[in-house]
Amino acid sequence: MTLISVIEVPQWRSSGSRTAERLVEGARLLAEMVPGGDRVRVEVAGGSTPAELALTASRVRAARADAQGFPVTLGGDCGVDLEPIAAAVRRYGERLVVLWFDAHGDLNTPDTSPSGAFHGMVLRALTGEGHRELLPQVSLDPRRIVLAGARDLDAAEVAFIEERGVRHLRVEDLAGTDALLDGVSRAGGDEIAVYIHIDLDVLDPGEFASVGSPARGGLRAGQLLGLVEAVAGRFEIAGLGITEYEPNDPADQATLTPLVSALVKTCTQTH
């Protein structure tokens, strides 16, 4: 059986959601949905300045250093995946592709962000642009990003995607698995490792609405799982992050619990 390292990061202050404090409880519940595993809860800094977010990232780094199993990072907002992905880039180098399931691009900078919230800048920071304190040691090549399910993008994000070669697969592109597998393969070839980031607002709010920034026209839960299964069946999975759960409806938790368990099982089945 694969050893799983569950890293719970209840960071919420870098979210732009009005109800972001719910992310603390969301991180706890997500951790409870993962069966078994070695577990650690990271103490987050008390604010949202770049220095405070960098402090939390350093604590995530330390938690990962002590972890022995397949890393599953549970947020909190999307910013919790800053260090896990940076660590994967350091480990895999040009072999790594980041598969970013999200309704939004998270590709803003401090100069372009409408909200100023870091959870909308984290993927851009990983490419080496943004707050100096939050930039990784080794930058992620934008051409090795596959943005899946994004449907609420700012103009500056669209420009970055087009200019820097980010592969953007819209919801309609994901009706089957072929476009996703082709996009991931074109981003890195066949001998690659894939880090999978899931912001739960990639799901359609008609099925799951316990998020801070819902956007209509998203994926269904079963569809998301099928896409992850297809990727895990073909490529090595370097890590998994699940973020942005703001518990608000018991029906949503009933949808999410089996989904999270299945996602973790899928990503660890070949390890």
Spatial contact of 214 and 118, defined as CB atoms under 8 Å apart? no
Between CA 96 and CA 127 the distance in angstroms is 13
Divide the 271 residues of the chain into consecutive groups of 10 and give the mean pLDDT of each group: 90 96 98 90 95 97 88 97 97 96 98 96 98 97 98 97 98 97 90 97 98 97 98 96 97 98 91 48
**pLDDT attached to residue 195:** 98
Between CA 125 and CA 140 the distance in angstroms is 9
Between CA 48 and CA 261 the distance in angstroms is 30
CA distances (Å), origin 186, targets 158, 166, 192, 258: 20, 11, 11, 31
**pLDDT attached to residue 270:** 60
**pLDDT attached to residue 267:** 96
Query: Quick one: what percent of the chain has pLDDT higher than 90?
Result: 93
**pLDDT attached to residue 234:** 95
